């Protein structure tokens, strides 16, 4: 069962992917080091754990090299390049050392992934660490641009550059127990003085500033400020197991940890909760933007940097035609450029969620783009949505508008709402124009992070909020109850579940507690009507309740993904729900809940669970597959019955861990991976293929095609730049013949592949 980490205010921003290149760094913090940042920083959008293998270098010699990770960055002829750095050089006014304590606020490993311990204080090494610091500290080798995280809760005391000593760009955090943790030689800082941080909150990015001979993080602790102290225990997680360092190295003394020892951390010991930023989506949408009868594809690039704005985000669009998807005429939309509403700012995450619909009824689908990290009127991460209009020439930014809760969509903006984390378009009132539902899973209207959904109504002039409404569980006739951490609005889907001619809305609340089962999850379904969504026709869907099959269990996170389509062929759409935390056959192998539609909305007595290897399903359940992280429906074999396409981002393909795949149900049961016959691309570790899925008929042959995202795929030499695979439908189902592998900057696709752009979406917390 997936552990859903929530109930705290701090945001866990997605992390930079780690370089897979071998690092062979020299010692760090040398008093006579050249300093300065010798390589550009990478963007950050989502956590990916990629092991960086480091070999300890030979003892330093009188050599010169300027390439980080190749050899010492020392001046030729310097026989003692690694002299001890006096404490005063690093801002320590007293050499006095205080003791470590058993229970410290600053107790977590300050990074994610696997990196090497370099110098501590006279630790075993090739002779380069003896007396290196002169006080307790630890150097961690890591590429420039790697996200550095707070080791515990506290308040930022310092965030600045020091040109008078060895520190370079650095951050100091004051913790509640009086300890100060310090993070030196950074290339960028993402916090400000006075800002409250939690364990795991990103503080900035590692670098090579100050007196540093190679990119690394220097970490130390003081109490009081100016008095160094022993580091004590650092807590990390390897998989689901807690690890205590340096105990895990077979010692209780950091001085005994050999230079070059791997140190791994997959999560935080008292984890920062999953915020809406990590939920929602999908960052894929299909629709006919140019009205030529072929579906087109839009994909979010939420980790794209724009100028100095990190993770500002973008959207990439490619168009369909008689031969299917083509990169000819592909487009990129970025806030503030080419008429796109808004300004590109750090952490906006434009493109984290997308939805296509004809909001003005002109015959061309428009595109709604979520930017859940947008700051609104000083409200951090309140979130916003930008709408791009369709036309005969495709999507255009002309006349685009930025909307947020209270402006263009009913509701009231609040810090941390992350409005736009999930989107869905549907015609709720049956007037021929699509309406837009916007998830704000961090909204505190009913309770902290209880979540809400804002609905804007389609009109001849486009989306309007005046006839829209705000949906909050348990409010104004809505079913359910708003509780802390429900994350209502983290997933959305539309379709006509009762056959009355009006689309209904399904809303996922994966953090809902059911009895004592924390984070069991639920879905609320709200019925459409001639006047739009009707709160009085709402109902709760929970496993094991009111005829629904299954049992609500801790950390099932039912509702992490939802889709609607006629999967049983009776002419009425059905509800498909992702339950990635379900232990169907193995721990967290995941499952799907299928609830048939009916004249009164749903027929729970006909519900059933599906999982890898279940009756009529392909595949074999495996630990941490996380089936149901993403769900889509579409008729891929042309038999007029919708098929279910469910992401399995944790699927291991041979020896490639977390390569990912897609479970295809009903039409032609199969498990599709990048290694399936004729499928473009190849399975690689950490690709997480299946994080986002969507369907559309790109070639107009009457059969839907599949689009599947691998947002942490390394391509064109850029870690976690992400990639998309388009697999055509056929009479026999999906076929690798004619499939297309899309990478930004390759094969004519607009843009340039860069580190951590995450084409196709962010990672939810259970994929960290």
pLDDT at residue 766 tops 80 = no
pLDDT at residue 315 tops 90 = yes
**Quick check: 602 and 575 in contact, CB under 8 A?**
yes
pLDDT for 192-229, tens place per residue? 999 988 888 999 999 999 988 889 999 999 988 889 99
pLDDT at residue 71 tops 60 = no
pLDDT at residue 410 tops 50 = yes
Q: Exposed/middle/buried for 613, CB within 10 Å: 0-12, 13-18, 19+? A: middle
Computed over every residue of the chain, the mean pLDDT equals 85
Average pLDDT of the residues in 219-241: 87
**Quick check: 577 and 596 in contact, CB under 8 A?**
no
Distance between CA atoms of 689 and 725, rounded to whole angstroms? 9
**How many helices, marked H, and strands, marked E, lie in the chain?**
0, 43
What pLDDT shows up at residue 767? 55
pLDDT at residue 472 tops 50 = yes
What pLDDT shows up at residue 29? 41
Percent of the chain with pLDDT over 90: 71
Q: Alpha helix (H) ranges present in 553-650?
A: none
**Quick check: 419 and 384 in contact, CB under 8 A?**
yes
pLDDT for 118-173, tens place per residue? 998 888 877 677 656 778 999 999 999 999 999 999 999 999 998 777 899 999 99
End-to-end, the C-alpha distance of the chain in Å comes to 14
Place of tokens 């008095």: 227
What pLDDT shows up at residue 151? 94
DSSP 21: S
Average pLDDT of the residues in 254-259: 92
Positive or negative CA dihedral for 654, 660, 666, 668? negative
Q: How confident is the model at residue 177 (pLDDT cuts 50, 70, 90)?
A: confident
Q: How confident is the model at residue 23 (pLDDT cuts 50, 70, 90)?
A: very low
pLDDT for 88-111, tens place per residue? 444 443 334 444 444 578 889 999
What residues does each domain of the chain span? 1-273
Biggest alpha carbon–alpha carbon distance for the chain: 85
Of 20-34, 269-283, 511-525, 612-626, the one with minimum mean pLDDT is: 20-34
pLDDT at residue 652 tops 50 = yes
Question: Encoding tokens for residue 407?
Answer: 């402006």
The candidate with the shortest Cα–Cα distance to 382, out of 346, 410, 341, 348, is: 348
Selecting from 2.60.40.10, 1.10.1760.20, 2.70.70.10, 3.30.428.10, what CATH number does the domain 1-273 have? 2.70.70.10
Helix/strand/coil percent split, the chain, to 5: 0, 35, 65
Give φ, ψ of 767 to 5 degrees.
-100, 5
CA angle 544, 4, 299 (to 5 degrees): 100
H/E stretch holding 723: strand 723-727
pLDDT at residue 500 tops 90 = yes
The candidate with the shortest Cα–Cα distance to 231, out of 242, 219, 239, 240, is: 219
Q: How confident is the model at residue 689 (pLDDT cuts 50, 70, 90)?
A: very high
Question: Encoding tokens for residue 84?
Answer: 């001890």
Q: How confident is the model at residue 446 (pLDDT cuts 50, 70, 90)?
A: confident
What pLDDT shows up at residue 232? 86
* More confidently predicted of 52 and 740: 740
Q: How confident is the model at residue 266 (pLDDT cuts 50, 70, 90)?
A: confident
Strands 94-98 and 227-229: parallel
Give φ, ψ of 204 to 5 degrees.
165, -155
pLDDT for 704-728, tens place per residue? 999 999 999 999 999 999 999 999 9
């Amino acid at each position: 069962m997936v552990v859903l980490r929530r109930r705290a205010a701090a945001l866990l921003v997605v992390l930079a992917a780690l370089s897979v290149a071998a690092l062979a760094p020299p010692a760090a913090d040398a008093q006579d080091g050249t300093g300065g940042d010798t390589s550009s920083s990478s963007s950050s959008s989502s956590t990916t754990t990629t092991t960086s293998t480091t070999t300890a270098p030979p003892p330093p010699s009188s050599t010169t090299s300027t390439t980080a990770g190749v050899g010492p960055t020392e001046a030729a002829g310097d026989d003692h390049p690694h002299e001890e750095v006096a404490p005063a050089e690093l801002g320590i006014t007293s050499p006095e050392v205080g003791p470590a304590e058993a229970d410290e606020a600053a107790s977590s490993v300050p990074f994610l992934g696997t990196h090497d311990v370099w110098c501590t204080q006279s630790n075993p090494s090739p002779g380069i660490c003896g007396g290196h610091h002169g006080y307790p500290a630890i150097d961690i080798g890591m590429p420039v641009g790697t996200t550095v995280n707070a080791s515990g809760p506290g308040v930022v005391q310092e965030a600045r550059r020091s040109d008078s000593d060895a520190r370079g760009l650095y951050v100091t955090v004051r913790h509640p127990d009086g300890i100060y943790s310090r993070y030196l030689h950074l290339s960028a800082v993402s916090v400000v003085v006075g800002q409250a941080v939690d364990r795991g909150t990103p503080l900035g990015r590692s670098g090579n500033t100050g007196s540093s001979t190679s990119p690394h993080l220097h970490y130390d602790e003081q109490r009081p400020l100016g008095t160094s102290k022993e580091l004590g225990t650092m807590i990390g997680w390897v998989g689901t197991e807690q690890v205590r360092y340096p105990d895990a190295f077979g010692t209780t003394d950091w001085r005994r940890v050999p230079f070059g020892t791997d140190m791994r951390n997959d999560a935080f010991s008292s984890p920062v909760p999953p915020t809406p930023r990590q939920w929602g989506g999908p960052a894929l949408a299909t629709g006919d933007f140019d009205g030529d009868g072929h579906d087109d594809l839009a994909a979010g690039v939420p980790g794209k940097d724009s100028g100095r704005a990190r993770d500002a985000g973008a959207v990439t669009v490619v168009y369909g035609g008689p031969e299917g998807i083509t990169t000819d005429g592909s487009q990129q939309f970025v806030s503030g450029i080419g008429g796109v509403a808004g300004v590109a700012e750090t952490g906006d995450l434009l493109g984290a969620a997308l939805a296509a619909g004809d909001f003005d009824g002109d015959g061309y689908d428009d595109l709604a783009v979520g930017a859940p990290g947008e700051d609104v009127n000083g409200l951090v991460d309140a979130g916003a949505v930008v709408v791009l209009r369709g036309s005969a020439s495709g999507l255009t930014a002309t006349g685009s508008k930025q909307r947020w809760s209270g402006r263009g969509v009913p509701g009231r903006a609040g810090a941390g709402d992350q409005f736009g984390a999930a989107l869905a378009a549907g015609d709720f009132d049956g007037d021929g124009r699509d309406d837009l539902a916007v998830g704000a899973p961090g909204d505190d209207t009913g309770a902290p992070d209880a979540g809400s959904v804002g609905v804007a109504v389609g009109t001849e002039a486009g989306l309007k909020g005046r006839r829209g409404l705000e949906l909050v569980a348990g409010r104004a006739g809505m079913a359910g109850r708003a509780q802390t951490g429900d994350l209502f609005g983290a997933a959305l889907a539309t379709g006509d579940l009762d056959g009355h001619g009006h689309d209904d809305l399904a809303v996922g609340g994966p953090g809902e507690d059911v009895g004592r089962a924390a984070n069991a999850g639920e879905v609320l379904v709200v019925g459409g009507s001639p006047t739009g969504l009707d709160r009085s026709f709402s109902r709760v869907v929970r496993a094991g309740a009111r005829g629904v099959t299954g049992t609500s269990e801790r950390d099932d996170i039912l509702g992490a993904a939802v889709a609607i389509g006629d999967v049983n062929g009776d002419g009425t759409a059905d509800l498909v729900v992702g339950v990635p935390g379900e232990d169907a056959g193995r721990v967290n192998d995941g499952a799907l809940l299928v609830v048939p539609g009916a004249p009164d909305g749903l027929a729970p007595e006909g519900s059933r669970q599906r999982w890898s290897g279940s009756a009529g399903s392909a595949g074999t359940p495996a630990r941490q597959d996380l089936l149901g992280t993403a769900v889509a429906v579409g008729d891929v074999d042309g038999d007029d019955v919708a098929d279910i396409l469910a992401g399995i981002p944790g699927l291991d393909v041979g020896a490639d861990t977390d390569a990912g795949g897609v479970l295809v149900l009903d039409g032609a049961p199969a498990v599709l991976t990048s290694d399936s016959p004729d499928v473009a691309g190849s399975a690689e570790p950490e690709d997480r293929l299946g994080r986002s899925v969507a369907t559309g008929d790109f070639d107009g042959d009457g059969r839907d095609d599949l689009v599947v995202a691998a947002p942490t795929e390394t391509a064109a030499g850029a870690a976690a730049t992400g990639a998309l695979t388009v697999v055509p439908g056929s009479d026999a189902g999906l076929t690798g013949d004619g499939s297309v592998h899309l990478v930004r900057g390759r094969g004519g696709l607009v843009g340039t592949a860069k580190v951590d752009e995450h084409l196709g979406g962010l990672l939810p917390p259970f994929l960290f």
